[in-house]
Amino acid sequence: MKEEYIMARSRWRILAIMVVAFALLAAACSSSDDTTDTTAAAAGTDTTVASGTDTSGEVLKVAFVHVGPVADKGWSWAHDQGAQALKAEYGDGVEITTLESIPEGSDAQRVFEDLAANGNTLIFGTSFGYMDPMLAAAENFPDTVFMHATGFKTSENMGNYFGAAEEARYLSGMAAGAATETNLIGYVAAFPIPEVLRGINAFTLGAREVNPDAEVQVVWTSTWFDPPKEGTAAESLIDAGADVIAMHQDSAAPGQAAEAAGAGWVGYNTDMTEFAPTAWLTAATWDWAPFYITTAQQVLDGTWKSEAVYGNMADGMVVLAPFGDSVAQDTQDLILVRESEIIDGAFVVFTDPIVNQDGESQPLGDIFGMDFFVEGVIGSPTG
Amino acid sequence: MNESLLMLTVMAAIGLGTPLIFATVGEILTERSGILNLGVQGMMLIGAVAGFWATFTTGNLFLGVVIAIFAGAALSSIHAFLSITLRVSQIVSGLALAIFGTGLASFLGRAGGNPLVGNPSRAVFEPVFTGSITEIPLIGPLLFGQDLLVYLSWAIAAGASYYLFHTRMGLSLRAVGEDPASAESAGVNVSRIRYTHVLIGGALAGLGGAYFSLALTPTWQDDPIGAAGWIAIALVILSSWRPGRAVFAAYLFGAAERVQFTLQTLGEPWSDIPSTLLAMLPFVLAIIAMIVLTSGKRARYLGAPEALAIPYFREQR
């Protein structure tokens, strides 16, 4: 009796394990149906799904690794738009693998190496923390081209790329400076790294060009993408007296907090007007499509060489988003004049020497290692 | 910290704590039946996406909430079947549910011809009362400045507390969680009680998820709830399996979540505290509270169900 019972039990067990395994598989393999084949990475689970059929010509296998979900409608989404443009450009000539929500850190090296071992010849990693893992992977796969966004290291087969967001940040700061009545602008910021500090400083310089009394209060969230957290940070800034919210975050939550409180909002990454139509002023946004297409072409032609690419407003990698209705016409005109000066090189955002947070003049130094706040910023540049 | 700032912090704590109350009370009821469901994060996300979808499609908030409740319960039924009928390891099944729910929610959010991703909600939960009643000092905003779901969270916590400790069914539930064999010999249907309360837990988690996508950050983006589902599991222990305490645990957590940013705006000397330390604040608070709760004689009153996470084999001797 007892043995039979135990056997019956173990059959149930096997069935149960199969059900769980199926559930895991389904979670890992859910993919969207359109142009890019996207793997819905559940908490970092990664599975690749091949796209298109192998036509007669050479198919370039390209992989993208993102730190957040491409559906963030922010940073990763902007990169994914670039990937989709790449797919649209080459059709069956490229096969794109997209991995989402891959944590930064040493485990990312395994992800990059898996992708390289699976025959991807061009691999993009779109977050700062992938730098060292990618460098290590690049060493182990010398025939694969690695491209790292926002970092500062290159090797024989690893290039890096980024853009002068500070140019558009400056312009968006002008919009914020003109909009604020309390002269306090809140800035929800992710991590105290040079990229973010550049953005805050450029934004503040722009705000103070049109409004010398404006100050920018920074709070750090220690996250790139966490909507409730970012929204809460924005609310705390509004409660501290800020009537315009700017951000270096990937979600639209700060904008929704601003909208609810009747404050203004300067977004980031993409045009996010629809999240907060009244609050929206403008934003620094990214257009990665031309760069991704060019890079893929270079790899196809065999002309790719390792370099550090720094795009800007002139080459179209950095774009100022459309203005919201609340931006006054004369402010818009002022900003557009500055924009054209930035594009033709007549105006430079950071000049040497520069006045720091303590009101002292100091040498500008290397802007890619920026570690200080300019005059007018309230908060700590070390987090 | 001045008085108005304190008030603002309390209001923010209520907002941030509300989804945690739903999920925590739900998980308390589930765990009281002896079933550990670690899939709260998945159930909340499914509730968030389903509720958002329903409201986005129909413009009806009420429908969104109902759909979220059903979606959360539906997902939890997988765990109920696996852990009650098939008696698999509840830890494994719960974790699988969390991962599955997360993936499924992202998938649903971008599936079909008109994906939800990147859209604000068509309707949002607003404070119920307006006008002079909300301007009464202190209690005005606290009691009358809340949206409907906040009042519902209070009602659910109070109701669950009454149900657990003052009704016969609550007694049966606790008996099943403590000693299912004895409960069964007293005529209680263990499987039925466990199924019911896993489903209730899922329903409340789904409702908690919907609070994010319909009230707190009314939009759909992937992973819009942070780590709320995992926090809720910790809050169950923090509230020592009592729904009434869950309210305070959730608000404590919400306040800590908010205070880390408020401190950064207060200037010297507060702004000198590294923000990364402040980001740990909610978790440090949770750990301190647990140490206080579990030290010495108090541990006896903690109240973890004796049969938690242990599969029940009927007539096993």
* Conformational region of residue A119, where left means phi above 0, alpha means psi within -120 to 50, and beta covers everything else: left
CA atoms within 13 A on the CB side of B2: 5
CB–CB of A27 and B99 under 8 A? Answer: yes
Confidence at A184, pLDDT banded by 50, 70, 90: very high
Residue type, position B115, single letter: P
Q: What is the pLDDT of residues B25-63, one digit of tens each?
A: 999 999 999 999 999 999 999 999 999 999 999 999 999
Distance, in Å, from the CA atom of B281 to the CA atom of B253, rounded to the nearest integer, reads 9
* pLDDT > 60? residue A30: no
**Residues of chain A positioned with their CB less than 8 A from the CB of B110:** 32, 38, 40, 71
CA atoms within a 13 Å half-sphere pointing along the CA-CB vector of B115: 18
**What is the edge-to-edge ordering of all strands in the sheet holding A145-149?**
A94-99, A60-65, A122-125, A145-149, A158-163, A308-311
Facing A236 at nearest CB: one of B88, B119, B261: B261
**Which of A73, A236, A382 comes nearest B221 by C-beta?**
A73
Contact list, A382 vs chain B (CB under 8 Å):
274
Distance from CA of A12 to the nearest CA of B (A): 6
Angle at B66 between CA B61 and CA B67, to 5 degrees: 95
The separation between CA B35 and the C-alpha centre of its own chain, rounded to angstroms, equals: 16
The secondary element (H helix, E strand) that includes residue B132 is none
Residues of chain B in contact with residue A274, where contact means CB-CB under 8 angstroms, are 118-120
What would the CATH number be for the domain defined by A32-163?
3.40.50.2300
Q: How many contacts (CB atoms, under 8 Å) link A and B?
A: 178
- Sequence ranges of the domains in chain A: 32-163, 165-285+319-378
The reported pTM is 0.83
Q: What is the ipTM of this complex?
A: 0.86
Residues 6+ apart with CB under 8 A from A297: none
CA dist A101 and A97 (Å) reads 14
Residue of A nearest to B117 (CA): A71
On the question of pLDDT at A53 being above 50, the answer is no
Give the pair of three-digit tokens for residue A219.
Answer: 């709070």
Distance CA A270, CA B48 (A): 24
For residue B217, give the nearest of A27, A68, A256 by CB distance: A256
The span from the CA of A376 to the CA of A201, in Å, is 9
Write the pLDDT tens digit of every residue in B60-114.
Answer: 999 999 999 999 999 999 999 999 999 999 999 999 999 999 999 989 988 876 7
Contact B264/A219, CB-based, under 8 Å?
Answer: yes
User: What is Dmax (Cα atoms) for chain A?
Assistant: 91
| Structure tokens that stand for A264 in this block | 């203004």
Q: Which residues of A are less than 8 Å from B258 in CB distance?
A: 232, 235-236
Strand partners, A60: A94
Are B73 and B203 in contact by the 8 Å Cβ rule? The answer is yes
Q: Is the pLDDT of residue B199 over 70?
A: yes
Residue B131 has pLDDT above 70, yes or no: yes
Q: Do B217 and A251 touch (CB under 8 A)?
A: yes
Residue numbers of B between 104 and 143 with CB closer than 8 Å to A: 104, 106-107, 109-111, 115, 117-120
Return the exposure string of B88-111: e unless at least 16 CB atoms fall within 10 Å of the residue's CB, then b. Answer: bbbeebbbbbbbbbbbbbbbbbbb
Burial of A305 (0-12, 13-18, 19+ CB in 10 A): exposed
Instruction: Name the DSSP class of B85.
Output: I
Find out if CATH 1.10.10 is the number for domain B3-301. no
Count Cβ neighbours within 10 Å for each residue of A330-354 and write b for 16 or more, e otherwise: ebeebbeebbeebeeeeeebbeeeb
The C-alpha atoms of residue A11 and residue A9 are separated, in whole angstroms, by 5
Q: For the domain covering A165-285+319-378, report its CATH number.
A: 3.40.50.2300
The shortest C-alpha distance from A339 to chain B (Å) reads 28
Q: Could you tell me the two tokens for A380?
A: 């700590």
B283 interface with A at CB cutoff 8 Å? no
pLDDT by residue (tens digit) across A327-383? 999 999 999 999 999 999 999 999 999 999 999 999 999 998 899 999 999 999 988
Nearest CB neighbour to A69, from listed B119, B223, B266: B223
Boundaries of every domain in chain B: 3-301
Q: Which residues, in sequence order, are CB contacts of A334 under 8 Å at separation 6+?
A: A174, A178, A210
Measured between alpha carbons, how far is B70 from B78 in angstroms, rounded to an integer?
Answer: 13
Distance CA B177, CA A3 (A): 28
Alpha-carbon distance of B134 to B143, in angstroms, equals 8
Q: What chain A residue is nearest to B13 in terms of C-alpha separation? A: A232
Distance CA A174, CA A168 (A): 10
Measured from the Cβ of residue A300, the count of other Cβ atoms closer than 10 Å reads 16
Res. A9: pLDDT tops 60: no
What residue of A is the nearest CA neighbor of B121? A275
DSSP string for residues in A159-190? EEEEE-HHHHHHHHHHHHHHH-SSSEEEEEES
Q: How far is B50 from chain A (nearest CA, A)?
A: 16
Helix (H) or strand (E) holding A355: strand A354-355
Looking at the complex, report in whole angstroms how far the Cα of residue B168 sits from the nearest Cα belonging to chain A. Answer: 33
Q: Number of C-alpha atoms within 13 angstroms, CB side, residue B189?
A: 6
Contacts of B109 (CB under 8 A, 6+ apart): A71, B49, B115, B116, B117, B220, B221, B222
Tokens 């270096």 belong to which residue? A248
Cα separation, B155 vs B159, whole angstroms: 6
* Chain B CA closest to residue A224: B226
Cβ B68 vs Cβ B48: under 8 Å: yes
pLDDT band for position A38 (cuts 50, 70, 90): very low
Q: What is the pLDDT of residues A86-144, one digit of tens each?
A: 999 999 999 999 998 898 888 899 999 999 999 999 999 999 899 999 999 999 999 99
Smallest Cβ–Cβ distance between A252 and the set B219, B264, B275 belongs to B219
Alpha carbons B100 and B118: distance in angstroms, whole number: 22
Put simply, the answer to whether A27 touches B102 (Cβ < 8 Å) is yes
Nearest-CA distance A4 → chain B (Å): 13
